[in-house]
Every structure is written in structure tokens, then in C-alpha cells.
Amino acid sequence: MSRISVRGFAVASATAVTTVGAVVGVAAGGEQQQSSSDPIEATAADSTLLADIPAGQQAVAQGASLTQQADVQSTAADAEAKKSAEEAARKQAAKDAKAKKAAADKAAAEKLAKEREDKKQEVASRSASRDAGSIPKQASYTIAETQSIARQMIPGDQFQCFSNIVDHESGWNYKATNASSGAYGLVQALPGSKMASAGADWQTNPATQIKWGLNYMNDRYGSPCGAWSFWQANNWY
């Protein structure tokens, strides 16, 4: 039996005794009424003191305790859910970063491979171009003939850049001379005697001048197009 049940039983018993005493007192007179306030009332009072917390208040207290427990459990569940979400986000971020790095590495590798292939093709193209020594010599050359020689000696993807520079420097006149500086030939070498490294006939053979000019542009700017880009920015190369 619970504490509440025991206390309730005590109060009920005391009430019953008090009621019996009251009936007896009515039958016996005033003497019985005076005695009813002694041991029986004390017993009832003691029993009442045992029930120090009414049943209704106990129910309220128990309800409040359950509510607090529910709040604690809910808070714990929210914290666990937040922790799980943060862990999932961390893992996803790490996964995304790894995928991004892999994509960047792949792009870099593909770019490097393309650059190597382009370089390989450029070298092959240059190797396929005719050397100055294989071109028949003439007493003189027209602009069209000089340009035809250049097309045979310069890689196809670089010819236009080379042509742009020669257009500005000499107008495709292989005997062009700058009166003030002494620059000479198609590419206006300064001094003109520099072109002797490509051939002793540098003054009269446009093929020798083209050979020297192409080597100069490749060595100094990487290619005729590199030289043309510099020329556009500075009006010289």
C-alpha cells in the first residue's frame, strides 16, 4: 500500500471514530461530548498531519517533474541532432574539397599534356619547314617570291605574326636600310652583320635573313607570335 493510501485510511478511520463518538455523546449527555475531544480527536489530528502533501498537489508535482524530464530529453535530442548535422556537414565539406582538388589536378594535368602536345607539334612543324640552304638562290627576289620563301620556312601557325613584323619593319624589302640606325634587311637586324651567323650571303639572300629572324624571335620571345605581341605593345622587338 502506498503512502497516500495509508494516510487516507488513517484519516477515514479517525473520521469514522469521531462520528461514532458524536452519536454516543448525544445519547449519554454532556459528559460524552467533553470526552470526544480527547483521545479520538488527537488520533484524527495526528493522522491528518501525516498527510502533509494533499493528493492533488502531489499530482501537480509529479506532472511538473515529468514535464522537466521531457524538456531535458528534448534538449538532449536537439543537441544530438545538431551534433549529427554538424558532423554530416563536416564530412560533406571534406568530400567536396577532395572532389574539387581532384578536378583541379585533372585540369592541370590535361593542360600540361596539351601544352606538351602543342610544343611537340610546333617542333615537328619547324622540322618540316625548309631550311634556307635548300632554297635555290637567285640574283634578285620580288616581294611575292620573298613571301613564298618565308611560307616555306616558317610554321604555318606563326607565319602571319612573322609577316606582320616584316610588314612594319621593311615592307618585305630584303635590301631595306635604316639611314639613321643602320638596321638592315627584312627584319631590320641592328647591325645587319648579325645575320652573318645564319649565312655569309645575308645581304643578298632573303632566305638567310628569314632564317636569322626566325631564330631571333624564337630565342628571345618563344615564337614569332610572341615577338608580334611584344611589338604591338612597344612598337619594336
pLDDT for position 11: 41
pLDDT for position 122: 57
pLDDT higher than 50, residue 97: yes
pLDDT for position 45: 47
pLDDT-derived band at 57, boundaries 50, 70, 90: low
| Beta-carbon contacts of residue 237 (< 8 Å; ≥ 6 apart) | 165, 217, 220, 221, 227, 228, 230, 231
pLDDT-derived band at 169, boundaries 50, 70, 90: very high
pLDDT-derived band at 59, boundaries 50, 70, 90: low
Residue spans of the domains in the chain: they are: 3-78, 129-234
79-84 long-range Cβ contacts below 8 angstroms, 24+ apart: none
Q: What is the dihedral of CA 126, 214, 233, 171, to 10 degrees?
A: -120
CATH of region 129-234, choose from 1.10.3470, 1.10.530, 3.30.160, 1.10.150? 1.10.530
Looking at per-residue pLDDT, the higher value among 199 and 53 belongs to: 199
Residue with grid cell 625548309, as numbered in its chain: 130
Radius of gyration of the chain (CA): 56
Q: Cβ(187)–Cβ(166) under 8 Å?
A: yes
For the chain, the average pLDDT equals 78
Residue % of the chain over a pLDDT of 70: 68
**Which segment, 89-103, 108-122, 177-191, is predicted with the most confidence on average?**
177-191
Among 131, 128, 127, 211, CA closest to 174: 211
Average pLDDT of the segment spanning 42-65: 59
